[in-house]
């Protein structure tokens, strides 16, 4: 039997209305499925429970422990009016990341990460200012322009709108970034690291967790896992910033038999060679 020690951060008070993620919630979402073993990153070893059918199984005890640690950090920042940038450009994550970032009134990047979004933020702000000018109704920029020139300005507006969707109102660098798939978003990770911006990220077994201050080991290809973890992060931001009545987010452990892990079906995307 997999016997998980109960994890509860001392800063949280027990409450019957608290939001919980239990071991079974993560198990049911497929959060424990890593990549095929040949694609693993050796630095990920502390988060691996076992190998099954050529696939690494992630230790959900570690997922819970690290998620609680990340939530504690997020809470401390949100209480001080901290701002967060959600990043998730992979197909499975885009809609979820945008939805949860919008819900907690934070910023997001769900299209291609533009190099310099953080390290060259001054230039990004100038580009956003240009976008605001192009979007302003009755802007003088459209006066005395030919039809062809107006079409060119409209194309520029659409391009800039796509590039800066989610960060248009970001006036300063975020206090932390929250990433789905740190292995894919390597540029975002490097830029945040250069600037000393803390990183909270879902990390799968093919990812080096060392550059991440708050790694959350989990299956970053599962829509249900992404939804589960992004939701609890957004909830924590809202609760700690006072946007909704305070109901502490506590992630709890539970006991689960090995047979549950053994009998869980490995998702096709996890065993295909293409992953």
DSSP 4-17: PPP---TTSPP-TT
Q: Do 205 and 167 lie in a common domain?
A: no
Residues 35 and 96 placed together within one structural domain of the fold: yes
User: Does residue 187 sit within a domain?
Assistant: yes
Q: Is the pTM of this model over 0.85?
A: no
In a shared domain, residues 135 and 42: no
Whether 70 is covered by a domain: the verdict is yes
Q: Give the residue numbers spanning the domain of 264.
A: 19-118+173-271
* Domain presence at residue 6: no
Residues 39 and 103 in one domain: yes
- Does residue 194 share a domain with residue 67? yes
Residue 167 shares a structural domain with residue 177 = no
What's the whole-number mean pLDDT along residues 107-132?
A: 90
Token duo for residue 30: 């497929």
Task: Confirm whether 7 is domain-assigned.
Answer: no
Residue 82 and residue 216 in one domain: yes
- Same domain for 89 and 147, yes or no, is no
**80 and 127, same domain (yes or no):** no
- 257 shares its domain with 203: yes
Higher pLDDT, 186 or 143: 186
Residue 47 burial (CB < 10 Å; 0-12/13-18/19+)?
buried
Has residue 265 got a pLDDT over 90?
no
Name the pLDDT band for 249 (thresholds 50, 70, 90): low
- Are residues 223 and 109 part of one domain? yes
Contact yes or no for 267/33 (Cβ under 8 A): yes
Comparison of pLDDT for 108 and 165, the residue scoring more: 108
Give the pLDDT score at 95: 95
Mapping DSSP to helix (H, G, I), strand (E, B) and coil, where does residue 179 land? strand
Structure confidence by residue, pLDDT tens digits, 37-47: 999 999 999 99
Residue 183 confidence (pLDDT) above 50: yes
Those residues with Cβ within 8 angstroms of residue 144's Cβ, 6 or more apart along the chain or in another chain: none
Whether residue 4 lies inside any domain: the answer is no
* 82 within a domain of the structure (yes/no): yes
Whether 222 is in a domain gets the answer yes
What stretches of 73-206 adopt beta strand conformation (E)?
84-87, 107-109, 176-180, 199-203
Q: Specify the number of domains making up the chain.
A: 2
Per-residue pLDDT band at 161 (split at 50, 70, 90): confident
């Amino acid at each position: 039997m997999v016997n998980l020690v109960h994890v509860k951060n001392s800063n949280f008070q027990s409450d019957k209305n608290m939001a919980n993620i239990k071991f079974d919630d993560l198990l049911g979402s497929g959060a424990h499925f890593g990549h095929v073993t040949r694609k693993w990153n050796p630095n990920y070893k502390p988060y691996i429970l076992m190998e099954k059918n050529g696939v690494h199984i992630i230790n959900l005890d570690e997922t819970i422990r690290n998620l609680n640690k990340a939530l504690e950090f997020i809470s401390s920042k949100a209480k001080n009016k901290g701002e967060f940038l959600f990043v998730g450009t992979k197909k499975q994550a885009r809609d979820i990341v945008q939805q949860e970032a919008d819900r907690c009134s934070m910023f997001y990047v769900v299209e291609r990460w533009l190099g310099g979004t953080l390290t060259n933020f001054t230039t990004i702000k100038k580009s956003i200012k240009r976008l605001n000018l192009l979007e302003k109704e009755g802007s003088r920029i459209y006066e005395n322009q030919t039809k062809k020139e107006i079409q060119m300005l409209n194309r520029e507006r659409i391009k800039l709108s796509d590039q800066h969707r989610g960060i248009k109102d970001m006036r300063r660098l975020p206090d932390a970034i929250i990433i789905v798939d740190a292995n894919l978003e390597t540029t975002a990770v490097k830029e945040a690291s250069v600037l000393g911006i803390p990183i909270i990220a879902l990390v799968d077994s093919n990812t080096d967790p060392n550059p991440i201050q708050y790694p959350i080991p989990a299956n970053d290809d599962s829509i249900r896992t992404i939804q589960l973890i992004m939701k609890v992060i957004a909830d924590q931001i809202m609760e700690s910033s006072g946007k909704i009545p305070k109901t502490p987010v506590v992630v709890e452990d539970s006991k689960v038999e090995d047979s549950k892990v053994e009998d869980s079906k490995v998702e096709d995307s996890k065993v295909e060679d293409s992953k």
